[in-house]
Chains A and B, each alone.
Chain A
Amino acid sequence: MKRILSLLFALALLLGAVGASAETKTTPSICIVVAGTLGDRSFYDSAYEGIQRLQTDYGTVINCIECGEDSSMYEQALYDAAEGYDVIAAVGWQFYDYLADENGVLAAYPDKKFLFIDNALEVIPDNLVCITYSQNEGSFLAGYVAASLSTTGIIGVVGGEDSDTINDFIIGYEAGAKFKNPEIRVLKQYANTYEDPAKGKECARSLYDMGADVVFAVAGRTGEGVFAAAQEVDRLAIGVDGDQKYIDPQHITCSMVKRVGQSIYDMVSDPDTYWCGGQVFTATMSSGYIDLAYGTDDMPQQVDDALKAEIAVIRQQIIDGDIVVPSAFE
């Protein structure tokens, strides 16, 4: 009898412990709505990786709605997500109009939390946090690397389209390149699509043809074409958003990492620290959301240790505010 009792007691304790730990670790369910499709190995995949990590770490209920480039789906997708989930992250500046709408989804679901990734509204309701990224800071480092590796004195960048966010990358990139070499020429191209690698290849090829020997891809899936072009002409490229070096370690020198997933992860897993309803959360280099990544050590490195050390110094200067990187949002 005693034995059974003690066993029961132990079981109860165990259950209690499990219950308690589950309680402290519970997070609200989250649905991300992306303005493109997953599989870009870049921006959207980074966001998805963030919520996948939430699922493994906290058992969070997650989902993802992909809209493709079909803008007619954007609004409905936001409503669908808000209907079934506690936190809704709109990933992509394309959702601006639907979130800015006073009678839109934000007003319809005042109790839900919304995240707007990669853009900020003029007026932000209390149930929304806009997350913007200091991509100009990381791009500054990318530009510095490009200018250091360039032998022709010409470097290039392929942007997804002529929008503020993309231009923020480009302005930072140009500033970084000029910081290294004031004489450098920076050629730019907009592919006008985030979903067409063949177009990206053509854009990059034109830049390589004009003498650029390092091209920065800032165009999501379109950027895959930039890497294909780099391989074909045997010149260098720089990846974006994720650490893309693994795609082609011989030609991708480094990647400007924008940890979209990490920012979503932090917002959901630790709202006390990060959630700031009604405000803009700026994910900067100093808070670790923006960085330059060189892949893993077993990959061939085009950026040698001396240059990496230089980059580390500049990185610190940006964090300390000694270097102020220009931005497209000013």
Chain B
Amino acid sequence: MIQFSDLVSFSSLMSTLGTATIVILAGLGCLMTEQAGMMNIGLDGMITASAFAAGVVSWLTGSWILGLLAGLLTGLLLGLFYAVMVVPLKSDEFVIGVTLNLFLVALSTFLYRNLPPAADGLHLDMGSGMAIPSISFGGNAGAAVSVSILVPVSLALVAVCQAFLYSTRHGFWLRAAGEKPESLRSVGRSPDRMKLVASLLCGAFCGLSGAYLLNYVHSFTEGISGSRGYVAVACVIFGRSNPLLVTCAALFFGLVDTVSTRLQVAGVVDSTLTAAFPYVGTILMMLVLAIRNEYRKAGQAKSALERQEAVK
């Protein structure tokens, strides 16, 4: 029989962290663009393209560092593309985001199948060079638990982003570029430049996420992202673009997923039902947020009234 310790144990938490890191990294990228007022929803495509680039380079060179750099570079280039399309050319950000998703996933599939080294068609083992060092712990029943060093690195990045956005001048400007671009202009700062920075950061984070994803599943496959880029967008919305809250949302999704996966083994819950858990979680979270917002609005209205009364 399954025990509670099987559901929420050190190794299941580590497993949660392992999958959630893909979403956390992409989420960090997305929230930067959202803060700058140009939400990039093309995360899924950017992750896939970066994973592919990391795969090709690490496979050709046998070096995970070069693979990681290739992923980062791909992300940065895509971030630049997005910024150019959205800021000076004023395209619709959602259309560009959707385009990135559809186009990049298809492009990496096409390239994956048609690269010269993949002459045999489909048997290119592209993850083999992508051995990012990992940290191992002893786990349940002797199964070692190991996480890539990118996992603690990305958690550190969450703290860095939090500090950057809320405690530095540049972070303040970045937020101002989204919230009130005219005020930023009035102090002689260019909102467009901050938007470019945000978009490049988004690309870099998606690049990291892609490289990590490749390392996580060990070899590039088509549709490698499993639509986790969309989950990241959802997390950014739940977490209101606050790095800590977005991370919590990503961990929440990861945990629901892990627990539902493990509940299945017990056989008490049907697999088709456990598959619905993350979505039920989504609805619950939406509900909580909506109710809290209503309360907050009511509270604000009340205090505003009180202030008016006081003035009178």
Show the binding face of A for B, using Cβ within 8 Å. Answer: 37-41, 45, 68, 152, 161-162, 187-190, 192-193, 195-199, 201-203, 205-211, 221, 224-225, 227-228, 231-235, 247
- Say whether B144 faces chain A, with CB atoms less than 8 Å apart: yes
Q: Which residues of B contact A221 (CB under 8 A)?
A: 221-223
Given contacts A39-B113, A189-B265, A196-B226, contact A206 B15 (CB under 8 A): yes
A202 touches B257 (CB 8 A): yes
Q: Are B122 and A41 in contact (CB under 8 A)?
A: yes
A228 near B258 (CB under 8 angstroms)? no
The count of residues in chain B whose C-beta lies closer than 8 Å to any C-beta of chain A is 45
- The stretch of B33-41, B159-167, B211-219, B236-244 in contact with A is B211-219
Q: Report A-chain residues with C-beta under 8 Å of the C-beta of B134.
A: 232
Give residues 8-36 of B contacting A (CB, 8 Å): 9, 11-12, 15, 18-19, 22
Contacts of B145 in A (CB 8 A): 233
CA separation between A38 and B114, bound complex, in Å?
13
Q: Are A209 and B221 in contact (CB under 8 A)?
A: no
* A198 B217 Cβ-Cβ under 8 A: yes
Shortest C-beta distance, A92 to chain B (Å), equals 16
Q: Using CB atoms and an 8 Å cutoff, list the residues of chain B in contact with chain A.
A: 2, 6, 9, 11-12, 15, 18-19, 22, 109, 112-113, 122-123, 125, 134, 139-141, 143-146, 213, 216-219, 221-224, 226, 228, 257-258, 261-262, 264-265, 267, 270-272, 275
Total contacts A to B, CB within 8 angstroms?
123
Question: What's the minimum C-beta distance from B253 to chain A, rounded to whole angstroms?
Answer: 12
Task: Pick the contact of B141: A45, A201, A211 (CB < 8 A).
Answer: A211
Are A39 and B15 in touch, CB under 8 angstroms? no
Select which of A152, A199, A207 is within 8 A of B226 by beta carbon: A199
Residues of B within 8 A of A197 (CB): 217, 219, 221, 224, 226
Separation of A210 and B11 alpha carbons in the complex (Å): 10
Q: Is the CB of A45 within 8 A of B261?
A: no
The answer to whether B143 and A209 have CB atoms under 8 Å apart is: yes
Q: Which residues of B contact A68 (CB under 8 A)?
A: 223
B99 to chain A minimum Cβ distance, whole angstroms, is 18
- Kindly identify which residue among A162, A187, A224, A232 contacts B271, using a CB–CB cutoff of 8 Å: A162
Min C-beta distance of B139 to chain A, whole Å: 6
A260 CA to B112 CA in the complex, in Å?
Answer: 24
Given A195-B226, A196-B223, A197-B224, A210 contacting B216 (CB threshold 8 A):
no
From known contacts A38-B122, A202-B15, A206-B15, infer whether A228 and B216 are also in contact, taking CB-CB under 8 Å. yes
A residues within 8 A CB of B123?
41
Say which residue of B261, B262, B270 sits within 8 Å of A162 (CB atoms).
Answer: B270
Expressed in whole angstroms, the Cα–Cα distance for A113 and B87 within the complex equals 55
Q: How many angstroms from the CA of A207 to the CA of B29 in the assembled complex?
A: 33
In the complex, the answer to whether A210 meets B141 with C-beta atoms within 8 Å is: yes
Rounded to whole angstroms, the CA-CA distance of A37 and B112 in the bound complex is 13
**Cβ 8 A contact of B228, one of A198, A206, A209:** A198
Task: Give A152's nearest chain B residue, CB to CB.
Answer: B141
User: Is A234 touching B144 in the complex (CB atoms < 8 A)?
Assistant: yes
* CB-defined A-B contacts under 8 Å, sample of 23: A41-B122, A188-B264, A189-B264, A190-B275, A192-B272, A193-B226, A197-B224, A198-B19, A198-B224, A198-B226, A202-B19, A206-B261, A209-B12, A209-B15, A210-B2, A210-B141, A211-B140, A221-B222, A221-B223, A224-B218, A224-B221, A233-B145, A233-B146
Q: How distant is the Cα of A114 from the Cα of B228 in the complex, in angstroms? A: 37
